[in-house]
């Protein structure tokens, strides 16, 4: 009875919530079009050489620097709700937004005003919040608060999660192109992202705070401990509907029958075993840990694999851009992967981007170096657009189903 009353009070209509997301043009793509991408990479490398260690906490399992993030959603925090545009990320576990005290670093962002929320709980304000994404990626510093978080835009069937801890950032830092210092550099001024919504497990959450979706599961708000991700095939447009995140169940409208469940090899990020990867006549069946990553626009793999894929399809690596390029008119075969004995294919149309460069189109594979830690294969957005991913927090497994075209 108490649970029923709570759900009625917070306005939940059902225990499965389908919430639309927005496809944006990534910071990387904007910089490429503005001809500033190579400059950014040079200064990022300078930062790496100058400071090989950071005093900020690093989210383990993070495999990219978020310049290529493409999918965001609206959330509100507080009562009445204050609006934010956040990056959806299955490779981290924290929710944070700019606090009202963030002035210099947060120009153009939405800010959270705790004094304007009747449901805000400030008992966590003495706890320091400090997070960095990747070794040289963006970072946020501030303190922790607690309030009601609603996932989804106002006027829709939001997922309402009371008593949710979140980070209130007083500073958001980036690599500076002018000074190479880790202060107040935004890759692009038109960056629409206010903060981050981490969707991975609590085990990698900075300060061990409960992630919002885990909090919803713990409170019994969802029918099942599932999150199903469908990314729409919209090409490389900006600011368009980008798909649906289904909290608490499967997505039977946008996704076909479940092909298979795969147990996780690590319940930190959504990491699992991948048997083989190949293209055309090339196949490597060594086997690796792989991760499903909604905040990565690429398929990542060790350089020995990406170079072999590039050789088969006639792509070449450009060290200035740190990208593989291919003839825009090419029609390479699909990338084939095996997971749990099941075969999955990533069509070439999901992997080719025309950024207007003379040396061709970029091909969305990237060499990564896990350094002996973390996943060696990253299945980012091209794979998730092809196959809906269902993240089962309770069963510690991931499911795949064909996305409806």
In 3D, which of 107, 123, 241, 258 has the Cα closest to residue 185?
107
Residue count of the chain, please give it.
405
How would you label 93-129 residue by residue, b for 16+ Cβ within 10 Å and e otherwise? bbbbbbbebbeebbeebbbbebeebeebeeebbeeeb
User: How far is the C-alpha of 257 from the C-alpha of 88, rounded, in Å?
Assistant: 24
Token pair in block for residue 259: 């092909």
Could you say which DSSP state residue 333 is in? P
Could you say which DSSP state residue 211 is in? P
From the candidates 65, 68, 251, 293, give the one annotated as an active-site residue. 293
Active site residue 354: no
User: How far is the C-alpha of 88 from the C-alpha of 295, rounded, in Å?
Assistant: 7
Bond into 80 cis (ω within 30)? yes
Place of tokens 């990208």: 323
User: How far is the C-alpha of 197 from the C-alpha of 393, rounded, in Å?
Assistant: 16
Could you say which DSSP state residue 99 is in? B
Active site residue 89: yes
What stretch of H or E contains 386? helix 381-386
What is the widest separation between alpha-carbon atoms in the chain? Answer: 65
Measured at the CA of 381, the angle between CA 380 and CA 385, to 5 degrees, comes to 130
Instruction: Give the Cβ contact number of residue 234 at 10 Å.
Output: 13
From the candidates 89, 191, 381, 392, give the one annotated as an active-site residue. 89
Would you please indicate which residues are annotated as catalytic (active-site) residues?
89, 293
């Amino acid at each position: 009875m108490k649970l029923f009353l709570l759900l009625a009070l917070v306005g939940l209509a059902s225990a499965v919530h389908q919430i639309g997301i927005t496809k944006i043009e990534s910071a990387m793509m904007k910089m490429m079009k503005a001809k500033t991408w190579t400059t950014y990479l040079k200064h990022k490398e300078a930062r790496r050489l100058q400071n090989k260690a950071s005093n900020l906490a690093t989210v383990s399992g993070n495999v990219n620097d978020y310049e290529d993030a493409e999918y965001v959603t609206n959330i509100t925090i507080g009562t009445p709700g204050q609006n934010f545009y956040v990056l959806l990320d299955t490779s981290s576990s924290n929710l944070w937004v700019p606090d009202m005290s963030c002035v210099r670093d947060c120009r153009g962002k939405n800010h959270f005003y705790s004094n304007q929320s009747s449901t805000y709980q400030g008992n966590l304000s003495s706890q320091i919040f400090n997070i960095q994404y990747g070794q040289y990626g963006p970072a946020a510093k501030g303190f922790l608060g607690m309030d009601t978080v609603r996932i989804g835009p106002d006027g829709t069937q939001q997922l309402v999660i009371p008593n949710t801890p979140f980070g209130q950032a007083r500073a958001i830092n980036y690599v500076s192109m002018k000074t190479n210092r880790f202060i107040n550099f935004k890759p692009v001024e038109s960056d629409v992202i206010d903060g981050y919504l981490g969707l991975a497990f609590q085990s990698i959450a900075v300060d061990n705070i409960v992630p919002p979706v885990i909090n919803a599961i713990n409170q019994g708000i969802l029918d099942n401990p599932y999150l199903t991700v469908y990314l729409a095939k919209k090409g490389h447009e900006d600011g368009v509907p980008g798909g649906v995140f289904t909290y608490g169940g499967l997505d039977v409208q946008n996704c076909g029958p479940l092909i298979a469940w795969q147990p996780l090899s690590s319940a930190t990020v959504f990491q699992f075993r991948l048997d083989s990867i190949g293209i055309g006549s090339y196949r490597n069946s060594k086997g690796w840990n792989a991760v499903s990553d909604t905040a990565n626009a690429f398929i990542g793999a060790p350089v020995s694999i990406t170079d072999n894929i590039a050789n088969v399809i006639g792509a070449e690596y450009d060290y200035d851009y740190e990208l593989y390029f291919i003839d825009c008119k090419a029609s390479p075969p699909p990338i084939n992967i095996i997971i749990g004995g099941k075969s999955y294919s990533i069509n070439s149309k999901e992997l080719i981007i025309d950024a207007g460069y003379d040396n061709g189109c970029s091909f969305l594979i990237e060499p990564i170096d896990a350094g002996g830690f973390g996943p060696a294969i990253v299945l980012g957005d091209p794979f998730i657009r092809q196959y809906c991913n269902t993240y089962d927090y309770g069963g510690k497994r991931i499911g795949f189903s064909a996305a409806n075209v």
